[in-house]
Amino acid sequence: MSFLTEGSLFMTFILAVKLTGVPSLMGILGNTGAQILWHQAGIFAIISIMVMFMILIVENARKPIDDPDTHLELTMIHEVMILDNSGPDLGLMEFGTFLKFLFFGGILSRLIFPVDFSIGALNYLVFIVGLFAIAFAVGILESIGVRYKLPRNTTFLMSSFAIATLALIFSIRGGIT
């Protein structure tokens, strides 16, 4: 399922590049890039955050796409490979899952809270609070949601791609620079 999120991810990055005018991820998520997204293109920033959250859900095998609590091969999509591993190998796979969540959660945290204080420790604190807020949102979604059936997963993924593509088209058509 992860390869289906690449289109949504690239469309979201293209939208961010178009809106900020900065062709690098560091520039988009930097002090001025993320603030430009909010000040000049508020609705497109909200759409970007929504699509990135959908990507985070899929990439990290969370509900409603996958159920990480079950260990049955027929009900798992991403985590079936860990059934054959234990010890250090399992630890490395779990660490890889953590890094994926940290990567996508970090992008979301920076997009949601594009603040820049003169004190570096305060910037890190806001980043960590953003990560906890995202983890809390994922936990709430998992608590109230149920796992989708497989045909519904592709609809979820393609809708994220469609939302990102339409946002890009409307941003070009709207003349936002």
Closest CA to 19 of 39, 41, 52, 43: 41
State residue 149's pLDDT score.
Answer: 64
Residue 71 has pLDDT above 60, yes or no: no
More confident residue, 120 or 70: 120
The answer, yes or no, to whether residue 1 has pLDDT greater than 90, is no
Average pLDDT over the chain, rounded to an integer: 79
Q: Quick one: pLDDT band at residue 39, thresholds 50, 70, 90?
A: confident
Minimal CA–CA distance to 131: which of 103, 161, 109?
109
The model's pTM = 0.77
Residue 131, pLDDT above cutoff 90: yes
pLDDT of residue 26: 82
- What would the two tokens of residue 54 be? 């959908």
> pLDDT tens across 134-159, in order?
999 988 887 887 666 666 777 777 88
Asked whether residue 174 carries a pLDDT value surpassing 70, the answer given is no
Give which of 114, 140, 99 is closest to 29, Cα–Cα.
114
Say which residue, 64 or 44, is predicted with more confidence: 44
Per-residue H/E/C for 88-156: HHHHHHHHHHHHHHHHHHHHHHHHHCCCCCCCHHHHHHHHHHHHHHHHHHHHHHHHHCCCCCHHHHHHH
d(CA 16, CA 33): 9
pLDDT of the residue at 94: 81
What confidence category does residue 132 fall into, taking pLDDT thresholds of 50, 70 and 90? very high
pLDDT of residue 15: 86
Q: Is the model's pLDDT at 175 over the cut of 60? A: no
129: pLDDT confidence band, cut at 50, 70 and 90? very high
Query: Number of C-alpha atoms within 13 angstroms, CB side, residue 9?
Result: 15
Largest CA distance in the chain: 54
